[in-house]
Structure formats: structure tokens, C-alpha cells
Amino acid sequence: MNQVLSPQLAIAVGVLRCQDEICLSLRQKHQSHANHWEFPGGKVEAGESIQAALEREFIEELGVQTRNWQPLIEIPWVYPDVTVRLHVYQTEEFDGTPHGKEGQLVRWFNKNALRELTFPEANRGILSALELGDCYAISGKFVDATDFSHKVRSLLSQGIKLIQLRAKDLQAIDVVKLAQDNLGAVHQAGAKLMLNGTPEMLAQSMADGIQLASSQLFEYNRRPIGTDKLLGASVHNSAEIAQALKIGADFILLSPVLPTATHPDMDALGWEAFAEMVRETPVPVYALGGMQKALLDQAKKHGAQGIAAISEFWSPQ
């Protein structure tokens, strides 16, 4: 369990991108995490902003001038010898050709190849943040399978890259069939389909992952699916976040952030409490509950990967 203790070292970590390629360097023999790939960066100096630290580190370590760094995710992590907070930023703007000025190996990798590499443990959350978009659509009501397919296509045409098939009224076998029938279109659009269901349903459907309800999280002691699939966890409080992390969730859906008509009995967390929980969570967190596209920037300012919603994205009946 990754419990955050102080003092925490602030580390600026830079994801330098060139279209689908990402620049990595190999940590050297004399460093901790030797022979692990890393996103270049290093300790933030006293009084320095994260962006300034990144510009300095990329000049010192890779000989490139970088600009316009944008926040991606913050990762609190406790290693046996040190407690860090990775401030992960990304940019595509740079001058020069990155090369290992300190003798380290530097290479560009396609973003789809990153999961095959060995990184320091804390980087799992960075890889998820890079893979997942900022809008997570959850399916709402539909009349039949044809209607469902139309509504999924409407999500894809809105540019949504992460969809959860949630159909609590259907039998597992029918949910699996719906997933199978729509996977082709989802993948063709470069999107991913999550099942609100069980590992067994995931195996039958070949969907991209499962979204576990908060009540399901405590049925497991460890990750219930392989690392080739996504594990999403729906949570409402810190205890559920801890359990989600214990079983290896790749990302978290935290709700309700704002009051929502679908759960009128639950108190909304509000943005401040949401941000506080996100700060202690080393994987991407989506804000759920009362979310609209117009709130996306606000969600990101409070540390979210993005927003999740049913009614904002799903076409009405």
C-alpha cells in the first residue's frame, strides 16, 4: 500500500512528444531504478516552478530547449528510500535533437509500446493518464440493441475515447453480446469499451476493461484481471480509493462531485474535497456526478484526468 509520508521530494517529470512518439531515457547504473526507462526530469530546486525545472533539466540532460509544458498528472509515491511527488507535464514544443548529455541512452518510442517497457513503479499512473482521454461516457437508457449501437456511434462522433457499457437491467449474456457487437466500431474510432460487470464477462466479450462498482471492490484481494486490460474502480471516499489501489486499479471514478439527479440521496463532495482525494491518488481520477463538458477545465484544475457522465454525452430517448 502506497501511503504518503512527508517530507516529499518534488520531481518534475516531462513527457516530450512528437506526434505518436515519446522521448524516454534509460536510468544509469549509479542511479536508483537503474536500467528502468524514465520520462526525463529531476528534482525541483528551491523557488523553481515545475515548468522552469523541466526547461532546465531538458537542457542539462538532453540538450533541447523546451516550451509550453502542460500538466498531465501528479503522482504521490513512497519508495523504500524516498518519498516523491511526480509533477508530470507534457509538451510537443522543443528545438534541437534530444541526446544523452550525461551518457544515458535516449530513445523515441511509439506511445502504444510503452506498456512493454520497464519503468519505476510510480509510472503506472503516467501510462494510464497518457492512454485515457478526458471524457468518459457511461451508457444510459436505450430501447434495444440497434438503438444502443446508434447511441454508441453518436458518442464516437463526439470524439469520446472511453465508453462504459452499463446496463444493470440486462442479463450478463446480453451485456456481453452488446459489447461484442459494438467493439469493432469502438476500436475503429480509436476508442476503448469498458464493461460494468465481472472479470468473466470481460473474458467472454473481449472488451477493453471492466469498471468495478464500489461494492465489488472489496470482493478482491488483488487485481482480478490481467494487465493487458483496463481496471476502473468506482469510489466515493478515501477507504474505497485505498481498496481500489490495493487491487491495482488503473484509474478511478470518484463521485458524486456535484449534486446529481441519479443519486439524490448522496451528499456531493464538492471540488475541494475532490481535489484533496485526488492529491493522494497515484492514478488518473475522473470526476463523476453533475458533470458537463463546460466543467472540464474546472475538473482538470482540481487534478482530474477529466469528467465522466451519463446524460451529458448519451443521446436522450
CA distances to 8, 84, 208, 217, 283 from 245, in Å = 20, 17, 19, 10, 8
Minimum CB distance to ligand 8DG, residue 146 (Å): 46
| Closest CB 25 distance from ligand 8DG, rounded Å | 8
Please say which residue, 18 or 82, places its beta carbon nearer to ligand 8DG.
82
Mark the segment that binds ligand 8DG (CB under 6 A) among 40-48, 163-171, 205-213, 232-240.
40-48
Stretch that binds ligand 8DG, among 27-35, 91-99, 159-167, 212-220 (CB under 6 A): 27-35
Task: Check binding of 42 to ligand 8DG (CB under 6 A).
Answer: yes
Report residue 152 as a C-alpha cell.
Answer: 454508441
Which residues, 6 or more positions from 292, have their beta carbon under 8 angstroms from its beta carbon? 307, 309, 312
CA distance 160 to 256: 21
The binder of ligand 8DG chosen from 18, 20, 31, 35 (CB under 6 A): 31
For ligand 8DG, the closer CB: 33 or 300: 33
Query: To the nearest whole angstrom, how small is the minimum distance from the Cβ of residue 41 to ligand 8DG?
Result: 4
- Asked if 43 touches ligand 8DG (CB under 6 A), the answer is yes
Quick one: 13 or 245, whose CB is closer to ligand 8DG? 13
Q: What is the dihedral of CA 275, 279, 281, 282, to 10 degrees?
A: 130
CB of 307 to ligand 8DG, least distance (A): 26
Q: How far is the CB of 32 from ligand 8DG (least distance, A)?
A: 4
Q: Quick check: helix, strand or coil at residue 2?
A: coil
CA distance 98 to 23: 8
Beta pairing class for 285-288 and 251-254: parallel
Residue closer to ligand 8DG by CB (options 98, 120) is 120
156 counts as binding ligand 8DG under rule CB under 6 A: no
Report the distance separating Cα 120 and Cα 244, nearest Å: 20
> Does 38 contact ligand 8DG by CB under 6 A?
yes
- Kind of pairing between the strands at 285-288 and 306-309: parallel
Q: Give, as ranges, the residues between 59 and 98 that touch ligand 8DG (CB under 6 A).
A: 82, 84, 86
Q: How many helices (H) does the chain have, and how many strands (E)? A: 9, 17
Q: State how far the Cα of 170 lies from the Cα of 64, in Å rounded to an integer.
A: 55
Q: Is 13 in the site for ligand 8DG (CB under 6 A)?
A: yes
Cell of 298: 474546472
Q: Does 118 bind ligand 8DG (CB under 6 A)?
A: no
Quick check: 263 binds ligand 8DG (CB under 6 A)?
no
Which residue has cell 485505498? 242
What's the grid cell of residue 208? 477493453
Residues that bind ligand 8DG (CB under 6 A): 11, 13, 31-33, 38-43, 82, 84, 86, 120, 122-123
